[in-house]
Amino acid sequence: MSQETQGNVPPKSNSSNRIGITLGDPSGIGPEIVLKAIADQEIRRGSDLIIIGSLEILRSTARSLGFDFEFSPNESGSSANAIAVADPGDLPSRAEPGRESAESGKAAARCIEMAVNMWKTGKIDAISTAPISKNALALAGYKYPGHTEFLADLTNTKEFAMSFFADDLRVVLLSTHFSLLDAIAMVKTESLVKLIRFTHFQLSGLLKKNVRIAVAGLNPHASEGGMFGDEEAREIIPAVEKCRTEFGIDVSGPFSSDTIFLRGYRGEFEAIIACYHDQATIAVKCLSFGSAVNVTLGLPLIRTSVDHGTAFDIAGKGVADESSMKAALRTAKELIGLSKSSARI
| 3 assigned to some structural domain | no
- Does 167 share its domain with 258? yes
Number of domain units in the chain: 2
206 vs 153, higher pLDDT: 153
- Does 275 share its domain with 304? no
Mean of pLDDT values over 52-68:
94
Cα–chain center distance at 35: 19
Contact 249, 196 (CB under 8 A): yes
- Does 153 share its domain with 15? yes
HSE-CB for 187 with a 13 A CA cutoff: 26
Could you tell me the pLDDT band of residue 291, with boundaries at 50, 70 and 90?
A: confident
Q: Which of 265, 291, 317 is the last residue of a domain?
A: 291
| 138 assigned to some structural domain | yes
**Cis amide bond preceding 31, omega within 30:** no
| 245 assigned to some structural domain | yes
Q: Give the CATH number for residue 193.
A: 3.40.718.10
Q: What is the pTM of this model?
A: 0.85
The residue segments making up the domain with residue 17 are 10-157+299-345
| 20 assigned to some structural domain | yes
Could you tell me the pLDDT band of residue 79, with boundaries at 50, 70 and 90?
A: low
- Does 178 share its domain with 237? yes
Position 292 scores a pLDDT of 87
- Does 34 share its domain with 153? yes
- Does 283 share its domain with 316? no
| 4 assigned to some structural domain | no
Cα–chain center distance at 165: 9
257 vs 73, higher pLDDT: 257
Position 203 scores a pLDDT of 93
pLDDT, tens digit, for every residue of 193-232?
999 999 999 999 888 889 999 999 999 998 888 888 899 9
- In this predicted structure, the answer to whether residue 8 has a pLDDT above a threshold of 50 is no
Give the Cα separation of 289 and 320 in Å (integer): 13
- Does 95 share its domain with 218? no
Q: Which of 275, 291, 307 is the last residue of a domain?
A: 291
- Does 209 share its domain with 247? yes
| 5 assigned to some structural domain | no
- Does 135 share its domain with 224? no
pLDDT, tens digit, for every residue of 314-341?
999 999 999 999 999 999 998 888 776 6
